[in-house]
DNA sequence: TTGTATGCGTTATCAT
DNA sequence: ATGATAACGCATACAA
């Protein structure tokens, strides 16, 4: 049979079925349920399909029919540039991605805009079976959009959404452990280098008012952990100075570190809400001719790979980042399979003492 | 009208249309073409939809009808953990993501497996309007799968696919410039720290045979640029030692650096195919008590942010990473709009001299 | 401005 | 083992 080009319409299941002389159902089975038809027939179908240039079942049509997209949407607060430079995020994201990938699911990234979080329309249009929300501010529009979809939701770290599954860590406890470590060493004048309290590009000293309106739970909880612990022993009778960074990266940390270390009396130690910020603070100390931990102690948060590899190696709060991602992936797959949300999964943190902390001089 | 729960079937366009007493088309227009109906009617429709808990047009059904997914698939060679730790990749990816996001398109990540590249089925199932292939080995199965889809293809860096659009840089020229810089400084014994030649976890000295079967064009071209230039002046009469790293990260670079700097006579300079490898090599020099550039010169490739920030700041080959991503994004959007592939876009590279190179002692 | 008719490409159910 | 038929939920000419 010579190839009759015809109007060159793209072939579909039906095209193949006609060519072979079977029904569409049978062709469909040839692809999806090899055991439902005889091997020779299947071979013939596949051969004809190939010769016709049939690309295989259309994913979108299949999704419509099965009500499954085989993808999980990952919604994040920031543009990808910011996100990718944050090791705490990428480590968790990788855990999530490999888990869902192993089960045949793709990962649809829905990045945030620079100042308003993810676009609600992007969330509304996401072709996915589950939506994973990562560390969004409490009241971003994307949240409503996610709720409107009738999809299972999973929240990592925050915010708290009533019907959503949750994976998080003990931020307040971790922060408290960090502060406690410094108190034990004898520090009494401590500065705080904070993650953003709101997605509004603010950077600078954060007073009571600012802190009270914080829209990131993680920042709120870590700060609470710090302050509660410092306050408990009556350390730092004046409230400790708090600098709010504009994002979790070293340059932002460096700016904050310079400001904090410029206070008088100078803090003898810095509590940093992320390792990247801490690494920036270490550099700031260098800028000012101060040695770490000789003149100033620095403690980070997250225990990323960079923390262990830095000079000096960073004392920090460990959180199981990769596991957080994997657990999130497993839960997402579970939700997708119909499991109910279940109680929040709260992963443990613990203090890792390295060489960036020492007693004050 | 009291809410009659009924069988609680999820509402569709049709549900809303019936409730309002209009046709589906009108409800559809209410969402997609507000100008096609009166404002009051639209308001009424939206109100009823909201009250019914209608989540808005189903993205999959919409995709089927419009033949558009509003997403671009990004297929990469490695698992995300590897990918995210590579600044050269993430920078480009961010450029791509922001470009397509601005135009309302999502980004579907299709990660590779550890040793066989991306799973072909994952590529076959990807719900996207364009497929972007990033730096895959020449003959991975995913390539066939991508070709089978009748979607526009865009290749970043490699491999060369006949019908695909292409964005790349002048790898060989850049590498040649790096080598030339060293020759000008007077170096004659030069070692090469190479990116992987194939996705098979190999690490170690790479002889002729191995190099001849290289499946990554980028590695091949950069090596060719190095060797061609070194050979031209008859430098290094014995072929320069080449170490193949297992991935582009510092630890791998460090191992390679230690081996290269352990050769006798010791190379006075190292040509590294990425900044991350170069940074590892610098550390290796430190391990051996050698100073950079005093005892050994090191030149990188990519000009990532880390290159400028390192100690010492790295001499390297600049490539416009963010622009590469943005261009790729624009081209992807163009393909998606029906533009023909067009000729390959080849971005320029240039040498950036910083402080990691100096004349040999 | 609104409605009608049709197509999008597949899977699933139930016969045969 | 294979086929007929009905979903799946929406968009879009075109007609009214």
Q: Is A61's CB less than 7 Å from nucleic acid strand C?
A: yes
The residue-averaged pLDDT of A320-343 equals 95
Is A14 exposed, middle or buried (CB count within 10 Å of its CB: 0-12, 13-18, 19+)?
exposed
Distance CA B265, CA B132 (A): 45
Kindly write down the DSSP assignment for every residue of B218-278, as one continuous string: HHHHHHHHHHHHHHHTT-SSSPPPEEE-SSSSHHHHHHHHHHHTTSSSPPSEEEESSHHHH
Q: Which of A180, A171, A260, A173 is nearest to A220 (CA)?
A: A171
Task: Report chain A's terminal Cα–Cα distance, integer Å.
Answer: 91
Q: Is residue B315 very low, low, confident or very high in pLDDT (cuts 50, 70, 90)?
A: very high
Quickly state the pLDDT bin for B102 (edges 50, 70, 90).
confident
- 8 Å CB contact of A148 and B60: no
Distance to chain A for B61, nearest Cα, Å: 6
Cβ <8 Å between A79 and B63: no
**Residue ranges in B118-243 assigned as alpha helix (H):** 120-125, 141-148, 171-185, 208-212, 217-232
Q: Report the protein residue whose CA lies nearest the C1' of nucleotide D13.
A: B25
Q: Residue A264, exposed/middle/buried by CB under 10 A (0-12, 13-18, 19+)?
A: exposed
Q: Which helix (H) or strand (E) holds B64?
A: helix B59-66
Q: Provide the pLDDT for residue B82.
A: 85
**Helix axis angle, A250-262 to A275-287, nearest 10°:** 50
Bridge-partner residues for A269, per DSSP? Answer: A190, A297
Answer whether A21's CB lies under 8 Å from A1's CB. no
Distance to chain A for B128, nearest Cα, Å: 9
CA distance B314 to B193: 15
Q: Which chain B residues touch A111 with a CB distance below 8 Å?
A: 97-98, 101, 107
**DSSP summary character for residue A302:** B
Tell which A residues from 257 to 316 touch B, by Cβ distance under 8 Å: none
> What is the arithmetic mean of pLDDT over A43-53?
92
Q: What is the pLDDT of residues A142-179, one digit of tens each?
A: 999 999 898 999 999 988 889 999 999 999 999 999 99
Indicate the pLDDT class of residue A342, thresholds 50, 70 and 90: very high
Of B10, B80, B149, the CB nearest to A94: B80
* Chain B residue numbers touching A119 (CB-CB < 8 A): 101
Measure B55 CA to D8 C1' (Å). 16
User: Which pLDDT score is estimated for B183?
Assistant: 96
- Give the H/E segment covering residue A179: helix A171-185
Q: Does the pLDDT of residue A330 top 70, yes or no?
A: yes
Residues 107-166 of A with CB under 7 A from strand C: none
pLDDT tens digits, B121-173: 999 999 999 999 999 999 899 999 999 898 999 999 988 889 999 999 999 99
B333-339: average pLDDT: 92
SS3 A292: coil
Contacts of A253 (CB under 8 A, 6+ apart): A193, A245, A272, A274, A276, A277, A278, A279, A280, A281, A283, A284
Residue A239 gets which letter from DSSP? P
User: Which nucleotides of chain C are near protein (any atom < 7 Å from a CB)?
Assistant: 1-5, 7-13
Give me the residues of B, 1-60, that contact A with CB < 8 A.
10, 55-56, 59-60
> Does A3 have pLDDT greater than 60?
no
Percent of chain A with pLDDT over 70: 96
Any CB–CB contact under 8 A between A108 and chain B?
yes
pTM: 0.90
Residue A233 has pLDDT above 90, yes or no: no
Q: Given this model, what pLDDT does residue B217 score?
A: 95
The yes-or-no verdict on residue B12 having pLDDT over 60 is yes
Q: Which of A17-31, B6-20, B26-40, B83-97 has the lowest mean pLDDT?
A: B6-20
- Identify any residues that bridge with A317 across adjacent strands, giving them in sequence order: A351
Residue A271: φ, ψ to 5°: -100, 120
Residue in A closest to B125 by C-alpha: A59
Residue A115, number of CB atoms within 10 A of its CB: 9
Element (H, E) at B193: strand B190-194
Beta strands in chain A (DSSP E): 71-76, 106-110, 112-113, 117-118, 130-134, 153-156, 165-169, 190-194, 204-205, 242-244, 269-272, 297-299, 316-318, 345-347, 350-352
pLDDT for B234 equals 61
Cβ contact, residue pair A94, B106, below 8 Å: no
Strand-pair partners of B134: B76, B156
A8 sits within 7 Å of strand D by its CB: no
pLDDT tens per residue across span A81-134? 788 889 999 999 989 998 998 888 999 999 988 788 899 989 999 999 999 999
A37 touches strand D (CB under 7 A): yes
Those of residues 109-148 in B touching chain A at CB distance below 8 A are 109-111, 119, 121-122, 124-127, 148
CA–CA separation, A248 vs A250, rounded Å?
7
- The CA-atom distances, in angstroms, between B317 and each of B120, B273, B278 are 34, 9, 11
Q: Tell me what pLDDT residue A59 has.
A: 94
Pairwise CA distance, residues B63 & A206, whole Å: 46
A234, pLDDT greater than 80: no
Residue of B308, B193, B184 whose CA lies nearest to B242: B193
- Give distance CA A57 / C1' D6 (Å): 19
pLDDT at A80: 85
Instruction: For residue B55, give the nearest of A69, A101, A149 by CB distance.
Output: A149
- Is B149 within 8 Å of A85 when comparing Cβ atoms? no
Question: How high is the pLDDT of residue A4?
Answer: 38
Query: Residues with Cβ < 8 Å from A243, sequence gap 6 or more?
Result: A191, A192, A193, A194, A204, A205, A206, A256, A259, A260
Give contacts of B87 with chain A, Cβ < 8 Å: 85
Residues 6+ positions from A267 with CB-CB distance below 8 Å: A189, A190, A191, A240, A241, A260, A261, A296
Residue of A nearest to B96 (CA): A80
Q: Evaluate if residue B320 carries a pLDDT over 90.
A: yes
Query: Which of B71, B84, B125 lies nearest to residue A108, judging by beta carbons?
Result: B71
- How many contacts does A have with B, using Cβ atoms within 8 A? 128
Start-to-end Cα distance in chain B: 91
User: pLDDT band at residue A5, thresholds of 50, 70 and 90?
Assistant: very low
Is residue A221 over pLDDT 60? yes
Q: Which residue is nearest to nucleotide D1 (CA to C1')?
A: A37
> What is the average per-residue pLDDT within B214-242?
87
């Amino acid at each position: 049979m010579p190839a009759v080009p015809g109007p060159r319409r793209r072939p579909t299941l039906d095209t193949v079925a006609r060519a072979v002389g079977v029904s569409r159902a049978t062709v469909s089975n040839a692809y999806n349920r090899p055991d439902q038809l005889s091997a020779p027939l299947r071979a013939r179908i596949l051969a004809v399909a190939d010769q016709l240039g049939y690309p295989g079942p259309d994913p979108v049509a299949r999704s419509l029919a099965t009500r499954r997209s085989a993808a999980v949407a990952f919604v994040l607060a920031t543009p990808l540039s910011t996100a990718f430079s944050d090791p705490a995020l990428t480590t968790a994201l990788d855990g999530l991605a490999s888990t869902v990938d192993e089960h045949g699911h793709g990962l649809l990234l829905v990045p945030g805009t620079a100042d308003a979080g993810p676009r609600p329309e992007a969330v509304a249009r996401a072709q996915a079976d589950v939506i994973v929300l990562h560390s969004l501010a409490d009241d971003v529009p994307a949240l409503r959009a996610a709720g409107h979809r009738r999809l299972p939701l999973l929240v990592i770290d925050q915010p708290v959404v009533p019907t959503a599954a949750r994976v998080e860590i003990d931020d307040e406890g971790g922060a408290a452990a960090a502060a406690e470590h410094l108190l034990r060493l004898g520090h009494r004048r401590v500065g705080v280098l904070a993650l953003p309290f709101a997605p509004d590009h603010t950077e600078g000293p954060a007073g009571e008012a600012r802190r009270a309106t914080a829209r990131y739970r993680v920042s709120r909880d870590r700060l609470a952990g710090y302050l509660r612990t410092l306050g408990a022993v009556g350390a730092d009778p004046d409230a400790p100075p708090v600098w709010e960074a504009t994002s979790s990266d070293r340059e932002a940390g460096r700016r904050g570190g310079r400001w904090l270390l410029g206070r008088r009396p100078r803090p003898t130690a810095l509590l940093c809400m992320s390792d990247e910020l801490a690494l920036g603070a270490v550099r700031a100390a260098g800028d000012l001719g101060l040695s770490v931990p000789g003149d100033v102690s620095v403690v980070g948060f997250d225990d990323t790979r960079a923390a262990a590899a830095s000079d000096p190696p960073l004392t920090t709060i460990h959180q199981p980042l990769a596991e957080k991602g994997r657990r999130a992936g497993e839960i997402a797959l579970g939700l997708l399979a119909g499991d109910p949300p279940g109680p929040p999964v709260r992963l443990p943190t613990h203090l890792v003492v390295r060489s960036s902390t020492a007693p004050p001089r």
